[in-house]
Amino acid sequence: MPLHQLFSSFHRSLKPAIYAENMLIALYNPERSHIHIPYFIDQADEELELSEFTPAREFIESTLVGYIFRRKLPMLADNQKLLRLKQSGAVTIRGTVSQSWIGLPLIYQGQMVGVLALQSYDTAHCFKQEDLAFLQYACHPLAAVLGYQMAQASQQAYAEQLEDLIDWQLDELKHVGQKAVQLEAFHKAEISPRSRKQKVTH
């Protein structure tokens, strides 16, 4: 199943149990050291442009979602807490500041693979601790699927790199073999009777 389809299906499954009109998923790629945002649904900031691939350090050190990457802990925040974080310089908030926000690390086998965030711009829909507890439970299967897919992609990338290395080594061996044949032919020519006769004549 393509990732966007997986995220869309997961998003729909959340809505009967929790307010989830605005959702973002950010994934971390340790091999390329970047953050990828494959899923972003937002009522207030539909036109907000997010770079699909952002250097991990830049993203983690500045953004609200990056704050979850840094701490590796879930966070439930109201509007006042978000403003305090912004004013302190701990985070940079792009777009509309929400009334309520949940950020949750997605962890698979002890490794952080991404962050899921929900936010509400409506004071009638403010998240509570039980919402955070439910989201932590609901995200376990999602984190497992993402972790497995990333592991498979990493193995595939490793296999492709190994294949390229083997091809390069085979080319090098072929090149060395050709040089050896040429060198052997040169030595044979040097020690042939005709070659010796020519050397004596000169």
How far apart are the C-alpha atoms of 197 and 18, rounded to whole Å? Answer: 97
**Burial of residue 26 (number of CB atoms within 10 Å: 0-12, 13-18, 19+):** buried
pLDDT the model gives residue 115: 95
Nearest one of 19, 14, 119 to 75, comparing CA atoms: 119
pLDDT the model gives residue 45: 78
pLDDT in tens, the chain (202 residues): 677 888 899 999 999 999 999 999 999 877 767 888 889 999 887 655 555 667 777 788 888 999 999 999 999 999 999 999 999 999 988 888 999 999 999 999 898 999 999 999 999 999 999 999 999 999 988 898 888 877 776 555 444 444 554 455 546 545 555 655 556 565 566 665 555 555 445 5
pLDDT the model gives residue 57: 79
pLDDT the model gives residue 162: 40
Tokens representing residue 117 in the block: 């965030």
Long-range (24+ apart) CB contacts under 8 A made by 144-152 are 144/108, 145/6, 146/27, 146/106, 146/108, 146/113, 146/114, 147/108, 147/109, 147/111, 147/113, 148/108, 149/3, 150/27, 150/29, 150/108, 150/113
pLDDT the model gives residue 81: 96
Q: What is the pTM of this model?
A: 0.72
- In this structure, the chain runs to a length of 202
Long-range (24+ apart) CB contacts under 8 A made by 139-146 are 139/104, 139/106, 142/6, 142/10, 142/106, 142/116, 143/106, 143/107, 143/108, 143/113, 143/114, 144/108, 145/6, 146/27, 146/106, 146/108, 146/113, 146/114
* Every domain of the chain and the residues it spans: 3-155, 158-196
Tokens representing residue 17 in the block: 């149990």
Tokens representing residue 97 in the block: 């500041």
Q: Identify the CATH assignment for 3-155 out of 3.30.450.40, 3.40.630.30, 1.10.10.10, 3.30.160.20.
A: 3.30.450.40
